[in-house]
Amino acid sequence: MWKIGDIPVDGRAVLGPMSGFTFPSYRDFMKPFGVAVSFTEMTSCMGVIHDSERTASMYLEFGRNRPTGLQLFGGDPESLAEASAKALKTNPAIDFIDINMGCPVPKVLRSRSGSALMDDPARCGQIVKAVKRRAEVPVTVKTRLGRSMESLNFREVLDEVVSAGADAVTLHARTAKEGYSGEPHFDMAESLQSELPVPLIISGNVFSLDDAVSAVRITGAKGVMVARGGIGNPFLVTQIDRWFRDGRRIPSPTISDQIRWCKELSDAVIAEKGEAVGVRKLRSIAPKFVSGCRMCNAYRRVLATEPETREDLFRILDRIEERMGSERAHATCTHEEY
Ligand SMILES: Cc1cc2nc3c(=O)[nH]c(=O)nc-3n(C[C@H](O)[C@H](O)[C@H](O)COP(=O)(O)O)c2cc1C
C-alpha cells in the first residue's frame, strides 16, 4: 500500500492518461483487471473554466472507479487553480488533480502548456502551489525527462514541484522531442524514487510484465503506468498487479478471452458514446485485442476498416473466435524475472 497525499493506493498498476482512449467507459472496463489508480484524458483548464460541453464529459463521469485523478493542462497557475476548484465543485468524486507537464503536441505547446512548462521549472512549482491553494485534494504532476536530450532537466522540475507540495509525480522516461518512440531511458532515472519524498509513478513502453518489472527495478517507483500496452491487452494489468502482490506469473489469455473482453468493452463504449461514434472509436481499439495468433494481421485489418455497427463488429469477432479461440493472445514474457 502506498499513498497519493492521504489517498491509499492498493496495487502498483496505474492506468495512464491517454487522450482519445481513457474516457469513462474505457477506465471502468480496465479497473477490475487490477488498476490501482486511474487518470482522465488530459483536459483543458480553459475548457473547464468556460464550461465546454466536451470538456465536461471528460471529467464528470467517475462512477465507482476510484481513485481517479483529473488531468488538466494549461500554462497559467491561476487558470489551472480556478479550473481545479471549479471541477471539484462540479464533481466531488475527483480524487486528485494531475497537472500535465509532458505533452509534446504542438497545439498544447503553443499555449505554453504540457512539456513547454519544462522550460521554466520555477513556473512548474508556482502552478502546483496555486492549485494546492484552491483544491482540497492531492495534486500530482506528470512530466518527462526534458524537452530534448540537450535539456534533461527533470530533476530540477521535480525539485520545484515537490517543494511546492506535489503529492506524487509521474515520469515518462522519454524527452518531449522523442514523442512516443524509441526505448525509454529508465537508466537516467535510476533509483529516482529514493531521491523523492513522494511516490513516483514510472511510464514508458510498458507492454509486458517484464517491462513493468524492469522499470520498477531500475527506478524504484511505487507505481508503474500502463498506457498503450493496455489497449487490447487489459490482462497485462492483472499480470502486473499479481506479480507485485505475490510474485505469481500468470499466463496470457486465450483469443477467446480477448474476444469476450473486447465485446464487453465495445458494449460499454457504445453505451457511453452511441453506436456510430462508439463503433468508429472501436475500430482503433478492437484490432489490438487480436494479436499473437496466426492470421491476426488479416483479422486486425478487417476490424480496423469494416465494422459500421455493433452487429458488424460482433459478427467479425465471432468469426475470429470460431477459428482462433483456443490460441493464446500476446506473447508471454521472456526476460529474466525480477
Ligand atoms: C494516444 C496517446 C494519448 C496520450 N494522452 C496523454 C494525455 O492526455 N496525458 C498525458 O499525460 N499523457 C498522455 N499520453 C502519454 C501516456 O500516458 C504515457 O505516458 C506514454 O504513452 C508512455 O507510455 P507507453 O510507452 O507505455 O505507452 C498519451 C499517449 C498516447 C499514446
The residue count for the chain: 338
Under 8 Å CB-to-CB from 84, ≥6 apart: which residues?
45, 70, 72, 97, 131, 134, 135, 139
Q: Measured on CA atoms in the order 206, 66, 12, 7, is the torsion positive or negative? A: positive
Residue nearest to atom 31 of ligand 1 (CA): 228
Distance from Cα 16 to the centre of ligand 1, integer Å: 6
Between CA 200 and CA 9 the distance in angstroms is 13
Q: Whose CA is nearest to atom 4 of ligand 1?
A: 18
- pLDDT tens string, the chain, 338 residues long: the values are 999 999 999 999 999 999 999 999 999 999 999 999 999 999 999 999 998 877 887 778 777 799 999 999 999 999 999 999 999 999 999 999 999 999 999 999 999 999 999 999 999 999 999 999 999 999 999 999 999 999 999 999 999 999 999 999 999 999 999 999 999 999 999 999 999 999 999 999 999 999 999 999 999 999 999 999 999 999 999 999 999 999 999 999 999 999 999 999 999 999 999 999 999 999 999 999 998 777 788 999 999 999 999 999 999 999 999 987 777 776 433 333 22
Q: Ligand 1: which of 141, 214, 228, 285 to mutate, judged by most atoms within 8 Å of the beta carbon? A: 228
The set of protein residues with a Cβ atom below 6 angstroms from ligand 1 is: 16-20, 41-42, 71, 100, 102-103, 142, 172, 180, 203-206, 225, 227-229
Helix (H) or strand (E) holding 101: strand 96-101
Q: What is the pLDDT of residue 250?
A: 94
Closest CA to 49 of 18, 78, 69, 20: 78
Q: Give the right CATH number for 2-246 from 3.90.79.10, 3.30.530.20, 3.40.30.10, 3.20.20.70.
A: 3.20.20.70
